[in-house]
Amino acid sequence: MKVFGIDVSKHNGRIDWQKAAAAGVKFAMIRAGYGSSIANKDQYADYNFKNAAAAGIETGAYWFSYALSEEGARREAQNLMEVVSPYRLTYPLCFDYEYDSIRYAISQNSPVGPDIATAYANAFLTELENNKFYAMNYSNRYFLEEYFDMNVLKKFDLWYALWGNTLDRSDAGIWQFSATGRVDGISGDVDLDYAFRDYPEIMRKNGLNGFTKPTVHWAQGAYDYLHGKYGFTLYDPNFSRIVTMGEVIEILARLNGYVPEPNQPDWAERAYRYLHEKTGFTLYNTDLSRVLTMGELLEILARLDGYVPVPNQPDWAENAYQYLHGKTGFVLYDKNYAREVTMGEFISILARLDGYQPEQKINETFARS
């Protein structure tokens, strides 16, 4: 993807954001301020955030750094977060450290080399991430070669400045390709950018920049596994509902190659006949509308895998479970065989028997794709 945008500050004056939107601007990186004090908030920051959003333009923000220490860099990040706190930004928050930052450090008898500049960037950006903001580093080719250690900073997105028609690296999330662009609604030159990632989706999906992360059902990963491996699709992905015998048989048949005809009143019977003819599987009770117990489910899955039950055993469900456990290592979390089975439990068991390993911990690494 390639999304057209701009980056602006007070130097661009009072922007007509409606005209900019009509001219094709989809996002804007807006300067929130500079330096160590919140008093250095950009005089057009609030105007730009409010009116860009009102025009339907997605927004991110940057802070021009004059940090003289890692603690100073963290304070600047806190300033940035304070300025943007009234807004819901769908693009990254960015650390902007440039030639004037170096000149200021030298004037304060605080020379900057690669280790120091990298430490400042890392402190600033980590402070953002620790507060659930999506962090990005602005830089150009010279600074990446002389001041920033990308082995340290590669964990953050890159906003890369290279003016011209050709981008010379593949890791840029945003490319600033011109400093002399012209856009309707803005007087004079303006910086032009392309974004290569769907940042609004990343923010919403991962609960960043003030968004609330969507609640994902614990069975979703198992369903995604089956869908990705077999193309299997649930007609009703409500994982909390109780499943019937007919639903289970139809799903098992489809995973064995059955292609149902839509809108057939005897859909469950058709699926059962297919499964019976293909595998020899026979139901002891052919009432396909009844709800399923966990014991019945385990016995069905075991028999489809080759298990031959001994008739009239009072521990028939435990025997089926022990077969599956011994053959695949499958473990049942709750061995109450008489309980009804939810769709989520069923899908999870199918996936785990197929090799799916559910995550034990939530991976909180921010999505960068």
Per-residue pLDDT of the chain (369 residues; tens, 9 = 90+): 899 999 999 999 999 999 999 999 999 999 999 999 999 999 999 999 999 999 999 999 999 999 999 999 999 999 999 999 999 999 999 999 999 999 999 999 998 999 999 999 999 999 999 999 999 999 999 999 999 999 999 999 999 999 999 999 999 999 999 999 999 999 999 999 999 999 999 999 999 999 998 888 999 999 999 999 999 999 888 999 999 999 999 999 999 999 999 889 999 999 999 999 999 999 989 999 999 999 999 999 999 999 999 999 999 999 999 999 999 899 998 899 999 999 999 999 999 999 998 864 333 344 444
Which position has the token pair 């650390």?
95
Q: Give whole-number Cα distances, 141 to 111, 135, 193, 259, 304, in Å.
A: 20, 19, 16, 56, 61
Domain 3-206 belongs to what topology?
A: TIM Barrel (3.20.20)
pLDDT of residue 213: 86
**Residue 215: predicted pLDDT:** 83
pLDDT for 359:
64
Q: Which of 224, 220, 242 is nearest to 296 (CA)?
A: 242
CA distance readout (Å), 76 to 32, 120, 166, 303: 11, 10, 33, 64
Q: Are the C-beta atoms of 259 and 240 separated by less than 8 Å?
A: no
Phi, psi of 63, deg, nearest 5: -125, 125
User: What is the torsional sign of CA 332, 333, 337, 343?
Assistant: negative
In terms of DSSP bridges, do strands 190-195 and 3-8 run parallel, antiparallel, or are they unpaired? Answer: antiparallel
Provide the residue ranges of all domains of the chain, joining segments of one domain with +. Answer: 3-206, 220-353
Q: Which of 159, 155, 148, 84 is nearest to 120 (CA)?
A: 148
Distance from C-alpha of 48 to C-alpha of 356, rounded to nearest angstrom: 48
Instruction: Supply the pLDDT for residue 246.
Output: 96
CA distance 153 to 11: 29
